Amino acid sequence: MKAIIIGGGVVGLSSAYYLRKSGWDVTVIDQNDFLNNCSYGNAGYVCPSHFIPLASPGIVSQGLRWMLNKKSPFYIQPRLNWPLMDWGLKFVKSATAKHVADSAIPLRDAAIISQKCYEELAATPGFDFAYEHKGLFEYFLTKEKAEHGHELVEKAVSLGLDTVFMSAEEVQALEPQTELNIQGAVLFKCDSHLYPNKLMKSLLNWMQSNGVTLLPNEKVKSFEKNNGRITKVVTDKSSYTADTIVVATGSWSREIASELDISLPLMPGRGYSITLENSPYKLNHPAILVEGKVAVTPMDGNKIRFGGTMEITTMSRPPQIGRVEGILNTVKKFLPQFNIPIPNINDVWYGYRPCSPDGMPYIGRLTKLQNCIVATGHAMIGLSLGAGTGLLVKQLANEEKLSMDLSAFKVERF
């Protein structure tokens, strides 16, 4: 059986890994060179704690307040664009307490499945990606947010996640090398983290050693279809046939879906990160700086990465240094000893997260095209759910029993 996977990010490569291990002849097509997509520059979290989707109560009003702030962590570029307007209307409609409640279990389950996959990968010869299960902090700068943290712990514990609230003094005792300016924190003991760059390198090395065909710098242009199946994938260089097609094209998925006559509401959400390769600043645990929505991750020895923002914008708009300033200003508020100069914008990593309007990924087989599986729309948790999504794609392709109920991730739900 032959599979073509379109997209060489962590979801595409994880799908290739599990399909190849189960005996498939696998080809991965990527419009770039596999070496610098959104899977590389993220915070590296593998986080069952992220059971609240992006579309949640309060985010709309908060987003409007942030619209005029060029350093804010959430921004939607206003423009007359029907896909954006349609996405926005669906986003507002989805941002309800009921949606958050309905999303918690599927997001938790997908993350736990993925975490088990990463643990297995980390123990596999040839894979080295600095995987650590040390938990994840959420730091609170204000008493208001700290009070909300107690509610968050209660919800997490009700979902079976090992989570505790800690005072500022208790957290400081675990981070003696760094002065903390916080009111308290939630520690998600259930979470882990890894170094994304090494993960992607390990996956690519495995592909090359195990007979997976990698086709870089090749853009899919169209599909030939017949009798409810894709019969040919046409690129700017050639055309290919396969028994199963996997669409794992991240922020480009809406355009690919339109070639399949499928409506897939999705917008690119740009995020930024800065990595200190040999950091003079130390943290023992990853942390989210809640009020500024910034992620701080110590990874792979002396490295430390700062990332954040969700900028719903066009891919043609240049990166905005103000967003980077916002990230580093937040770091300084929480970690006053971290004196990090604003870098040149050319030295800042940025990438585009694929955001569905309800904050849930799209994972499943298309009803109109039975040999097509879609795996995209993971927004800020693409790395976290990446390996598990690859396993689910393999199960779908082989028509095996699924590791979880995928109804919340239905591709054609809109």
What's the rounded mean pLDDT across residues 114-133?
A: 97
Mean per-residue pLDDT over the chain, rounded: 95
pLDDT value at residue 64: 73
| Confidence at residue 57, expressed as pLDDT on a 0 to 100 scale | 85
Q: Please give the pLDDT value at position 251.
A: 95
Q: Which residues lie closer than 8 Å to 256 by C-beta, 6 or more apart?
A: 6, 220, 247, 249
Extract the tokens encoding 32: 């770039």
Mean pLDDT of 5-18: 98
Residues 6+ apart with CB under 8 A from 30: 6, 7, 8, 12, 37, 214, 215, 216, 217, 218
140 domain-assigned: yes
Q: So what's the pLDDT on residue 290?
A: 96
* DSSP per-residue codes, 3-54: EEEE--SHHHHHHHHHHHHTT-EEEEE-SS-SSSSTTTSS--EE-TT--S-S
Residue 398: per-residue pLDDT: 98
User: Cα–Cα distance between 149 and 137 in angstroms, integer?
Assistant: 11
> What predicted TM-score, i.e. pTM, was given to this entire model?
0.96
**All residues at 6 or more sequence positions from 187 whose CB lies less than 8 Å from its CB, including other chains:** 135, 136, 137, 163, 164, 165, 166, 171, 285
CATH number at 323 reads: 3.50.50.60
Q: Return the pLDDT at 70.
A: 80
For residue 65, what pLDDT is reported? 78
C-alpha span between 412 and 144 (Å, rounded): 39
* DSSP H or E run through 98: helix 97-122
| 267 belongs to a structural domain | yes
| pLDDT of 61 strictly over 80 | no
The reported pLDDT for the residue numbered 217 is 97
Give the model's confidence band at 284: pLDDT under 50 very low, under 70 low, under 90 confident, else very high: very high
Alpha helices per DSSP H over 167-247: 168-174, 196-209
The pLDDT of residue 353 is 95
pLDDT, tens only, 324-340: 999 999 999 999 999 99
Answer yes or no: is 377 within a domain: yes
10-21 and 382-397 helices, crossing angle to 10°: 30
Residue 229: predicted pLDDT = 97
Residue 85 and residue 318: Cα distance in Å, rounded? 21
3-class SS at 204? helix
**Domain assignment present for 397:** yes
Specify the pLDDT at position 59.
80
At 25 the pLDDT is 98
Three-state SS at 220: strand
Residue 13 belongs to a domain: yes
Predicted confidence at residue 133, as pLDDT, reads 98
Q: Is residue 303 part of a domain?
A: yes
Report yes or no on 414 lying in a domain. Answer: no
Mean local confidence (pLDDT), 277-306: 96
pLDDT digits (tens, 9 = 90+) for 333-367: 999 999 999 999 999 999 999 999 999 999 999 99
Mean pLDDT throughout 306-316? 91
The token duo for 98 is 């009921």
Q: Domain count of the chain?
A: 1
Tokens of 130: 């600095």
* 402: exposed, middle or buried (Cβ count in 10 Å: 0-12, 13-18, 19+): middle
Instruction: Quote the CA–CA distance of 285 and 19 in Å, as a whole number.
Output: 34
pLDDT digits (tens, 9 = 90+) for 203-223: 999 999 999 999 999 999 999
- What's the confidence (pLDDT) of residue 150? 95
Instruction: List the one residue out of 9, 48, 392, 327 whose CA is nearest residue 197.
Output: 9
Give pLDDT tens digits for 146-168: 999 999 999 999 999 999 999 99
Whether the pLDDT of residue 67 is over 90: the answer is no
On the question of pLDDT at 307 being above 80, the answer is yes
Q: Cα(248)–Cα(259) distance, rounded to whole angstroms?
A: 14
CA 327 to chain CA centroid, Å, is: 18
Range of the domain at 326: 2-409
| pLDDT for residue 63 | 73
Q: Provide the 8-state DSSP code for 402.
A: P
For the chain, percent of residues with pLDDT exceeding 70: 100
Joined tokens for residue 366: 């298309």
The verdict on residue 37 lying in a domain is yes
Look at 231 and 75; give whichever has higher pLDDT. 231
| Ranges 33-42, 66-75, 191-200, most confident | 191-200
The Cα 392–Cα 26 span in angstroms is 16
Is the pLDDT at 247 greater than 90, yes or no? yes
Check residue 73 and give its pLDDT: 85
Q: How confident is residue 36, by pLDDT bands cut at 50, 70 and 90?
A: confident
Which pLDDT does position 69 carry in this prediction?
Answer: 79
CB burial of 311-330 (b: ≥16 within 10 Å; e: otherwise) equals bbbeeeeebbbebbebbbeb
Q: How far apart are CA 119 and CA 278, in angstroms?
A: 26
73-77, 134-138, 241-245, 283-287: segment of lowest average pLDDT: 73-77
Assess whether pLDDT exceeds 90 at residue 78.
no
